Each structure stands twice: as structure tokens, then as C-alpha cells.
């Protein structure tokens, strides 16, 4: 039986941060270079506005995200909008198949 795909695994890793993140959109497309294969991801999400969420977003580029069978080669916060209650964000990521 096949496990969850890289899209679902990446969503789980992001949501495991403990900041109450909800993923509202995740679009992934296949990506290939001369030596690697993987996927490009565009992810939109939101959570309650908090200092913990701000710290998480600030540290995301350096975070270790466990995605079995894949390496999160790059992840960046490309847009953030917030009000006193909710913070909405958009991420771009690149995952590469390991092995």
C-alpha cells in the first residue's frame, strides 16, 4: 500500500508546527533538472495571529521539515497579510526525491 504523497506529507510537516495552521490551497507541479526530480509547491494557509506564528514564519527557511522520501530543498514565505485575528500567508517550496 502506498503512503501519502509528498503533497500530503509536506502539509503534515507544516501543520505539525503547533501554531494551528490551516492549509487552504496547495498546488504542486512536477519539476526536473538534469540530475534531480521533484515538485514545486505553492501553498496558502492561515492561522490565528500570534507571536508564535510570526516566529515560525521567520524561521521557516531554516526549518527541518520531515517529508519521507523527499528533501525540502527550498521553502520561502512569499506573502503575509494579517489583521488582529488572522494571519494569511503564501509559501513556495521545492521538494526533491531522495535516492
Mean pLDDT, the chain, whole residue set: 89
Query: Are 79 and 91 contacting, i.e. CB atoms less than 8 angstroms apart?
Result: no
Q: What is the pLDDT of residue 5?
A: 75
Whole-structure pTM value: 0.87
In angstroms and rounded to an integer, the radius of gyration of the C-alpha atoms of the chain is: 14
Topology annotation, domain 6-97: STM4215-like (3.30.2000)
Per-residue pLDDT band for 4 (boundaries 50, 70, 90) equals: low
* pLDDT of 1 higher than 80: no
Kindly list the domain boundaries of the chain, sorted by start residue.
6-97
Q: pLDDT (tens digit, 9 = 90+) per residue, 45-72?
A: 999 999 999 989 999 999 888 888 899 9
Amino acid at each position: 500500500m502506498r503512503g501519502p504523497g509528498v503533497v500530503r506529507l509536506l502539509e503534515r510537516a507544516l501543520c505539525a508546527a503547533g501554531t494551528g495552521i490551516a492549509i487552504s490551497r496547495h498546488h504542486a507541479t512536477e519539476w526536473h533538472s538534469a540530475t534531480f526530480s521533484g515538485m514545486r509547491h505553492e501553498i496558502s494557509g492561515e492561522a490565528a495571529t500570534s507571536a508564535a506564528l510570526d516566529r515560525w514564519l521567520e524561521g521557516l527557511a531554516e526549518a527541518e521539515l520531515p517529508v519521507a522520501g523527499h528533501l525540502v530543498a527550498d521553502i520561502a514565505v512569499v506573502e503575509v497579510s494579517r489583521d488582529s485575528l488572522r494571519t494569511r500567508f503564501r509559501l513556495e517550496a521545492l521538494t526533491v526525491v531522495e535516492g
